[in-house]
Copies of this chain bind each other. A is one copy, B any other.
């Protein structure tokens, strides 16, 4: 963490130096907006562009300038005491900053996001963590954590949770891993995850199961990313066969999201591949479907028209077009038509024999 502290100090000292030489100090931040985003297939995520805004200390900016500096102090204190603060807590801490207090959490959130863009660090590294948790793990993985009070290493064996699971903490930067798993299977719904856990699917498949419970939280995305990077294991994603599963859940996990492009570098999982449910699965496995709603069609057409990720991948363009043409969607539970455990006995093993056919 000393690397972060020295970055904080570097910026603070530059401000101080300017002031001591009677000049106006300034801070610069990359512009966080869709207009300043590009998709780099080579790096694999939506990247922030080069446009920056400069905040110079003037009569008009004095309050926000002071707030930014105080937030840097808070960050330094948090890191030095090995603590953390949610964005909401950071807002309330400011209530003791007198004139520099924030009137609304939207303002303090923006300052935190400015700081993470300025330093090129995800805010967890600055000690600011999200409000929400999410993401459960079961299978061939030992998570190496440590007790914050004693500093003693704790090894958490994710094969030993019975029908329960390991719940990913809000911040995962400090975690290490031991595993000999062949892949990570990331699952959209808690119900499907529970089925695979109860039937010990990770034993027969030699894998790690991760439940996202819908759109994955930051901690869940980051966890998958650092685990896959550290252990060089592939990531297969199993979601509903609908525009939401494809474009919101999968695309967000793999390539990040448009309006936080300065973070995608840390939160995307470029090694992710799409196991299913594909539009072709709907045909091949004769799955029960629901008609696409207007909002589904709009989402799919938006992806084709505006989303650089889909525009880059011809296979995805074809798949999304096929889904629109078929006019239907299928949930991962639809496989239950052929029996509750058809997914375990047939679908997943068949798919996993040919990972090279997974959509990119």
Known: A89-B333, A92-B334, A131-B189. A169 touches B164 (CB 8 A): yes
Q: Is the CB of B88 within 8 A of A337?
A: no
Q: Is the CB of A131 within 8 A of B190?
A: yes
- Give Cα distance in the complex from A162 to B338, angstroms: 41
A83 at the interface (CB under 8 A from B): yes
- Give the residue among A131, A164, A334 with the most B Cβ atoms within 10 A: A164
Number of copies: 2
- Give Cα distance in the complex from A189 to B92, angstroms: 15
A41 at the interface (CB under 8 A from B): no
A143 at the interface (CB under 8 A from B): yes
A259 at the interface (CB under 8 A from B): no
User: In the complex, which of the residues B92, B161, B194 contacts A337, with contact meaning CB atoms closer than 8 Å?
Assistant: B92
The stretch of A30-38, A63-71, A145-153, A308-316 that contacts the partner chain: A145-153
Q: Is the CB of A164 within 8 A of B191?
A: no
A163 at the interface (CB under 8 A from B): yes
A residues adjacent to B (C-beta < 8 A): 78, 83-86, 88-93, 95-96, 129-134, 136, 143, 145-149, 154, 156, 160-171, 174, 189-191, 193-195, 197-200, 203, 211, 213, 288, 331, 333-341
- Give Cα distance in the complex from A191 to B155, angstroms: 23
Name the B residues within 8 Å of A335 (CB-CB): 92
- Give Cα distance in the complex from A154 to B164, angstroms: 11
User: In the complex, which of the residues B145, B190, B194 contacts A164, with contact meaning CB atoms closer than 8 Å?
Assistant: B145
- Give Cα distance in the complex from A197 to B149, angstroms: 11
The 4 A-B pairs of least Cβ separation, nearest first, read: A145-B162, A86-B191, A133-B190, A167-B167
Name the B residues within 8 Å of A131 (CB-CB): 189-191
- Give Cα distance in the complex from A49 to B165, angstroms: 38
Name the B residues within 8 Å of A164 (CB-CB): 143, 145, 156, 166-169
Q: Is the CB of B154 within 8 A of A336?
A: no
Known: A154-B161, A331-B88. A167 touches B129 (CB 8 A): no
Q: Is the CB of B195 within 8 A of A84?
A: yes
A-B contact pairs, 15 of them (CB 8 A): A83-B198, A83-B341, A84-B195, A86-B194, A88-B336, A89-B195, A93-B340, A95-B288, A96-B338, A133-B190, A148-B200, A163-B170, A165-B166, A165-B169, A170-B190
Name the B residues within 8 Å of A129 (CB-CB): 191, 194
Name the B residues within 8 Å of A163 (CB-CB): 145, 148, 169-171, 174
Q: Is the CB of B145 within 8 A of A169?
A: no
Q: Is the CB of B170 within 8 A of A160?
A: no
Name the B residues within 8 Å of A174 (CB-CB): 163
